[in-house]
Amino acid sequence: MSEAPSSEPRPPQPASVMVPPGPEAVPLVPELLISDLLRYGVLISLSLVTLGTTVTFFRHPDYLVSSEALERLTAPHPVPHGLADVVAGAMAARGQSFVMAGLLVMMAVPVMRVALSLLIFRQQKDRLYVAITTVVLTLLLVSFLVGAAEG
C-alpha cells in the first residue's frame, strides 16, 4: 500500500519507556500497550460476533428465505440480558449467544483500557494520575452495578 515504508517519517518515541527485567528486555511503550489492548480486544469481539452470526444462519436455514422471521426479530422481544443467560447460551452453541458474548467483550475493552492505564501510571510513579485513574475506574464499575441493580 505505501510505496516507501523505509523513508516514512517516524514520530519520536515518548521519554516514558519502561523496561521490564529479564534477559530479553523489550521496551514497553504505554501507547503501544494500550493500542494493542484496543486492537486485540476489538478483534476478539468481532470474531465472536462473526462466528455467532454464521452459526445462527447455519442453524436457521429459514432466515435465508423467509421474510416473516425478520418481523419477529426486529419487533420488541426478550433478549438475554444476564451474564448467566449469555454463558448458558454459548455453552449450548446458540449463535446469538456467541454474538452477545462478543458484544460483552466489546463493552469490557474500555474498562480494561482504564485498568491498564492505572498499571502504567503506577509504574511511572505518577501519583496524581494514579488517583485520577482510580476514580474513573470506580465510576465505570459503579455504572455497571447501577445497570445490574436496575435490571
Partner 1 sequence: MTPFLFTFVVLGFSVGAGLLGSLLGIGGGLILIPVLTLLLKVDIHYAVGASIVSVIATSSGAAAAYVRERMANLRVAMFLELATTAGALTGAFLSGRVGGRGVYLVFGAVMACSALVMLRRMNSTQVAPVPEDALADRLGLHGSYWDESTGREVGYRVTRPLAGLGLMYVAGTVSGMLGIGSGALKVPAMDLTMRLPLKVSTATSNFMIGVTAAASAGVYFARGHIDPFIAGPVCVGVTLGAWLGSRHLMAKVNASWLRALFVCLLLWVALEMLRKGWTS
The footprint of partner 1 (CB under 8 A) covers 9, 11-12, 14, 30-32, 34-36, 38-39, 41-42, 45-46, 49-50, 52-53, 56-57, 60, 63-67, 69-70, 73-76, 78-81, 96-97, 99-100, 102-104, 106-111, 113-114, 117, 128-129, 132-133, 135-136, 139-140, 142-144, 146-148, 150-151
* Nearer to partner 1 among residue 63 and residue 87 (C-beta): 63
Nearest to 112 by CA among 39, 6, 55, 47: 39
Smallest distance from the beta carbon of 127 to partner 1, in angstroms? 12
Q: Are 10 and 4 in contact (CB under 8 A)?
A: no
Dig out the grid coordinates for 43 from the structure: 478483534
Residues 6+ apart with CB under 8 A from 38: 109, 113
* Nearer to partner 1 among residue 22 and residue 62 (C-beta): 62
Smallest distance from the beta carbon of 23 to partner 1, in angstroms? 27
* Nearer to partner 1 among residue 25 and residue 36 (C-beta): 36
Q: CA 30 to CA 18: how far, in whole Å? A: 8
Place of cell 518515541: 13
Q: CA 16 to CA 11: how far, in whole Å? A: 14
